[in-house]
Structure 1
Amino acid sequence: MCPLYPVRLVLMYGTGLVCVWFMGLGSVVNAATEAATLKVRLYVNNSSVTYLDVKEGGEKQVTFHLDDLPPNTVGDILILDENEDNLDHLGIEPDRIPLPPAHSDEAGTRSFTIIGKFLGFTKIKFMINTIHDQNLVSEPVEVRVQRGERVLDKIFIHVVIGLVVLAYINMGCAIELKVIKQTLLRPVAPVIGLLSQYLFMPLASYAIGYGLFYETPEMWLGLFLTGCSPGGGGSNMWTYLLGGSLDLSVTMTFISTVASFAALPLWVFSLATSIYQGGYFKELPYKNIAMLVIGLVLPLSIGLLIKWRCKRAALFMKRLLKPISILFIIFMMTFGVYANLYIFSFFDWKVAVAGMLLPWLGFVFGGLASVLCRRSLEESIAISIETGVQQTGLSIGILKVALRKYAPLGDVTMVIPVAVATMTPIPLTIAYIIKRIRDCRRQHNTYEIDEENVRENAEISLSSTAAIQNDSNNCNNSAKK
């Protein structure tokens, strides 16, 4: 009955034909794509490989063979570097290779050299542009550029170890065993620091990582392991410079380092596996933790021995503690940054925010917790600094052990601990500058008050002398009369 009945049939059949046509076209495109895919086999030292790895500054020769080339394929083989972070990780020589003749005994077999320039991950593809303008492209091959050994890194590590040992010997000359003993007998302050260190910091690092690095679990893992690390690093030096309790700071560093034998594995096995399941945490670097304990106790014991046997030498070394601490901090903020300058190539706003939030929140939480528990100003300063300053070297060691099968993933992930170590001194440096300005003003005001007191005393003494002189003159005149 509908006047458009024939038109409706035409439209229905036309729509069906269009759908069938598109389906056929898609199959043709897929077939063309399959036909346009290069099949490549890679060999390194006559061994077949599925990925390539090379160290920074190193070279590696790679042989490849092209399988199932279309007949009469003519053109050059292009080797393309395709990275996602816009960093120059790899060098390829040559990156254009003439295709051998089809009748050759080694048809499709050629070699090239890869040169490691900058650590990280990249991919290479093989492409042939034929005379018919048809691109034959291979599947991407992963290339891992691992960090090479540098003399600068060795110099940096040895100088840091020397400065830390010297600083802890001087700390041994400055601390009081009686104060440490009293602190351990009434361990309120150490307990506050320990809870802040191993409850707040791991949970805060997990939450920050969830918010910033949910799509990059490697970075999230690096931040979480940094939050689980014990206090240390330059915490004792910063506590001394900012007028905190050095005895309490050293005590908390020792306690948190020893407690990390139990606390660190507990957090790692409970939450770290939910962040990054590709890492293996069966081999935690307990040897490194033990070395931290030895590196703390041994130089402190030497300083205490010097204080016991030679008090003059101990007093002299105690005076050197502040300049050595300042030298250590300046060295870390200058040469340390320069030695790890490559890390800043991976910096983005998320890494910078994470590096600031973790230690700065630790300072705030430790300070508030100690104030709420009515601790003294010196103890509050020590607890705050000890909570916020992390032993980033330990977290870097754990990352390298856990991700060593995925190198250089551990070296790339260590950008987070380095970012935390870089951002940590910023508020502490500002606080030290403010403290120095206040101390200078206080000394200036004290000097002016002392000068006024000297003047007043001098005037009083002069007036008293004049009065005594007048009295003596009057007495002499009376005697003459």
Structure 2
Amino acid sequence: MKTKCNICNFNFAILPFVALLWLSNGAFGSLKVSRFVQNGKDSSNEVHDGDWIEIVIEPEDSLIELVEVTCVTEDNHLVTLGKVSQNGSQTTFAVGTKRIGVAEISCGETGSGTGQNNAEVLPIEIRIVLDSNWVATVFPFFGFVVIIGLNILFGTDISVADIRFIIRSPKPLFSTALCQFVLLPPYGLGVARLLGYEADVSLGILMVCCAPGGLFSNTVTYLIDGEVPLSIAMSFFSTICAIGTMPLNLLLYSQFISDDPSFKPSDIPYLNLLLSLVIIAVPVAVGMLLAAKAKKATVQLTKFGKPVVLLLLMIYIAIGLYVNWFAFSLLEPRDFGGAILVPLGGYCLGGLATLILRLRCSQVKTCSVEVGMQNAIIVVAMTRIVFDPPQSDLNSILPLSIAFINTVCVMPIYLTHILVKKHNKRYRDVCEQNKEAQMRDRELFDKGRKTSDKELTKTGTPICTGVRKYSANGEKDVKKTHSNLSENGRNVSFDKNEGENDNSIKLNNLQPK
């Protein structure tokens, strides 16, 4: 008896239709993004924050009919999804953006996400970047003009004698450089470790701590009666040093953050560092020239110096807050801690180092501000070189926050100085004595001579502080002095147009030997 072969009666002609039916059910179907549409026009996967973009999805094979396509994302804090339309040939999804970042979207036919049909999942990346406007475009140029104008103003308060004195007495310069490039980088690394930041954020903090001083340190020094010539010299000197120390510190400390850091010493924007030198040197030289050639006009200009500086700072802060609001909106409480601790540590390190060296109060304030106000804009420039948007904007959030907090701190620092100076006579006297000491230093170097404790002692004059006055030969002189000067931490006063002896000085609390 012959057995009937059923397979021999199978109609092989229907195989293509079976295969097509199988594919139409999504078993082996694969999808592709046909195009991105924004405002009715073809676009890319890059969209501004707050805008909408449509994703058109089609099957790879045009003969395959789509069944049901769904898209999901875990980045709901970045985007919202909604289906617009679907037919047999394509599906359109609308994506609304909330803030900058990179959103990952997964699309597939119904059931593919659970593995029911074994269809491929289509990954789609949406890059959400900042919405540019004319204010953000103009802001860097406005900041450039403000810094140029302020440096010209500060230059009117500097003479060649100041520069000579700073060069011949480099103790404040070297103490500031020590704090900035030796002590501050490991401190920044410690802050990053303490707060448990990710590698890229930790590296951003480290870079800020390796950057030179600058930004508005000269402005703060001017407002709180520090020594502007010294502050400008420090900014210039630290920027020159940073060309070599910044890559060295990054190479040394970045290995404690990540084995494969995103930033390399070769990414340092040396052109920006050189531009910083030019922005400091040229306007200051113009101000010094104006002070030398147009003294009357310069004196009138400096009368309105502090109100003008405060006005420019308030405008700069307001525009900066508007332009960089995205950075503050993305900050977490832990990020605020880092943005505050980094400059605060710089202030403390600079002040402590100069107190140990027994520098005068105005120099302590100057060095403290210079170390605390690092040039975080250099770090922002580095992130723009290394990364494309929006990653560059995300990596610059903490450096921008540090720079802005430093700028905002100008007002409370200045107001504290004003209030203490108004209600504390001792502090007020110290500020006046420091100003006169700075003038005396200038006069001494103009004449090409120095006065030291040893030289005064040789004349028979004791060095001390107090209320009585003695002439250089030790004879008592009861006439009132004209001005008090601080020399090497002691109060000394030189008579001008009073007394018979031009060398008479005021000394306190000690009788002559």
SS at match of 2:127: strand
Q: Which residue of 1 aligns with 2:507?
A: none
1:414 aligns with 2:406: no
Q: Distance in 2 between matches of 1:174 and 1:43?
A: 65
Please tell me whether the aligned partners of residues 172 and 301 of structure 1 are also in contact (alpha carbons under 8 angstroms).
Answer: yes
Q: Which residue of 2 aligns with 1:64?
A: 57
Cα deviation, residue 55, structure 1:
4.2
SS at match of 2:400: helix
SS at match of 1:354: helix
SS at match of 1:41: strand
**Gap change, CA 1:351 and 1:179, over 3 Å in 2:** same
Greater radius of gyration (CA): 1
Of the three residues 119, 139, 161, the one matched with 2:100 is 119
Q: Which residue of 2 aligns with 1:272?
A: 254
1:256 aligns with 2:238: yes
Q: Which residue of 2 aligns with 1:54?
A: 47
Cα deviation, residue 165, structure 1:
1.1
Cα deviation, residue 292, structure 1:
0.8
Q: Which residue of 2 aligns with 1:423?
A: 405
Cα deviation, residue 37, structure 1:
10
Q: Which residue of 1 aligns with 2:310?
A: 326
**Gap change, CA 1:37 and 1:274, over 3 Å in 2:** farther
Q: Distance in 2 between matches of 1:72 and 1:151?
A: 47
Cα deviation, residue 206, structure 1:
1.6
Q: Distance in 1 between matches of 2:177 and 2:52?
A: 48
Q: Which residue of 2 aligns with 1:82?
A: 74
Please tell me whether the aligned partners of residues 172 and 367 of structure 2 are also in contact (alpha carbons under 8 angstroms).
Answer: yes
Q: Which residue of 1 aligns with 2:83?
A: 95
Matches within 5 A, 1:460-475: none
Residues 196-238 of structure 1: per-residue CA shift (max 9 Å, x gap): 1111222111221123244x22211221111111101110110
Q: Distance in 2 between matches of 1:37 and 1:254?
A: 66
Residues 66-94 of structure 1: per-residue CA shift (max 9 Å, x gap): 4699x99743x23334316x2xx4466x6
Q: Distance in 2 between matches of 1:328 and 1:400?
A: 27
Between stretches 153-162 and 377-386, larger displacement belongs to: 153-162
Q: Distance in 2 between matches of 1:151 and 1:114?
A: 26
Q: Distance in 2 between matches of 1:113 and 1:68?
A: 23
Any stretches of 5+ residues in structure 1 without a counterpart?
1-34, 46-50, 101-105, 447-481
Of the three residues 363, 366, 380, the one matched with 1:396 is 380
Please tell me whether the aligned partners of residues 108 and 122 of structure 2 are also in contact (alpha carbons under 8 angstroms).
Answer: no
Between stretches 380-389 and 269-278, larger displacement belongs to: 269-278
**Gap change, CA 1:305 and 1:38, over 3 Å in 2:** farther
Q: Distance in 1 between matches of 2:384 and 2:195?
A: 22
Please tell me whether the aligned partners of residues 48 and 129 of structure 2 are also in contact (alpha carbons under 8 angstroms).
Answer: yes
TM-score by length of 2: 0.68
Cα deviation, residue 279, structure 1:
2.3
Q: Which residue of 2 aligns with 1:206?
A: 189
Amino acid at match of 1:220: S
**Gap change, CA 1:83 and 1:228, over 3 Å in 2:** same
Cα deviation, residue 155, structure 1:
2.4
Between stretches 137-146 and 204-213, larger displacement belongs to: 137-146
Q: Which residue of 2 aligns with 1:195?
A: 178
Q: Distance in 1 between matches of 2:356 and 2:29?
A: 68
SS at match of 1:80: strand
Please tell me whether the aligned partners of residues 214 and 375 of structure 2 are also in contact (alpha carbons under 8 angstroms).
Answer: yes
Residues 126-181 of structure 1: per-residue CA shift (max 9 Å, x gap): 25446xx9977836533222234321112222222221111111101012321221
Q: Distance in 1 between matches of 2:94 and 2:129?
A: 16
Q: What is the root-mean-square deviation in Å for CA atoms of aligned residues?
A: 3.3
Ranked by relative contact order (alpha carbons within 8 Å, sequence separation 6 or more), the top structure is 1
Residues 389-441 of structure 1: per-residue CA shift (max 9 Å, x gap): 0112111001111223xx32110111101221233256553332232123334
Residues 267-322 of structure 1: per-residue CA shift (max 9 Å, x gap): 22333365352625333211111111111111111101111111112212222331
Cα deviation, residue 341, structure 1:
0.9
SS at match of 1:374: coil
Cα deviation, residue 63, structure 1:
4.4
Between stretches 119-128 and 354-363, larger displacement belongs to: 119-128
Cα deviation, residue 112, structure 1:
5.0
Q: Distance in 1 between matches of 2:84 and 2:70?
A: 5
Amino acid at match of 2:290: I
Amino acid at match of 1:415: I
Amino acid at match of 2:224: L
**Gap change, CA 1:65 and 1:168, over 3 Å in 2:** same
Any stretches of 5+ residues in structure 2 without a counterpart?
1-25, 37-43, 429-513
Of the three residues 132, 155, 172, the one matched with 1:149 is 132
Q: Which residue of 2 aligns with 1:348?
A: 332
Q: Distance in 2 between matches of 1:179 and 1:72?
A: 82
Q: Distance in 2 between matches of 1:380 and 1:199?
A: 18
Of the three residues 335, 338, 342, the one matched with 1:358 is 342
Q: Which residue of 2 aligns with 1:458?
A: none
SS at match of 1:174: coil
**Gap change, CA 1:374 and 1:272, over 3 Å in 2:** same
Q: Distance in 2 between matches of 1:221 and 1:283?
A: 13
Amino acid at match of 1:82: E
Of the three residues 166, 170, 181, the one matched with 2:164 is 181
Between stretches 136-145 and 365-374, larger displacement belongs to: 136-145
Amino acid at match of 1:147: L
Amino acid at match of 2:164: K
TM-score by length of 1: 0.72
Cα deviation, residue 122, structure 1:
1.4
**Gap change, CA 1:427 and 1:54, over 3 Å in 2:** closer
Amino acid at match of 1:363: Y
Q: Distance in 2 between matches of 1:156 and 1:426?
A: 16
Of the three residues 8, 20, 32, the one matched with 1:41 is 32
Matches within 5 A, 1:158-307: 158-214=141-197, 216-272=198-254, 275=257, 277=260, 279=262, 281=264, 282-307=266-291
Please tell me whether the aligned partners of residues 72 and 107 of structure 2 are also in contact (alpha carbons under 8 angstroms).
Answer: yes
**Gap change, CA 1:426 and 1:149, over 3 Å in 2:** closer
Amino acid at match of 1:80: V
Residues 341-386 of structure 1: per-residue CA shift (max 9 Å, x gap): 1112211011100000000011011101100111110100000000
Please tell me whether the aligned partners of residues 86 and 92 of structure 2 are also in contact (alpha carbons under 8 angstroms).
Answer: no
Q: Which residue of 1 aligns with 2:6?
A: none
Q: Distance in 1 between matches of 2:65 and 2:235?
A: 72
Q: Distance in 2 between matches of 1:206 and 1:78?
A: 45
Q: Distance in 1 between matches of 2:312 and 2:343?
A: 19
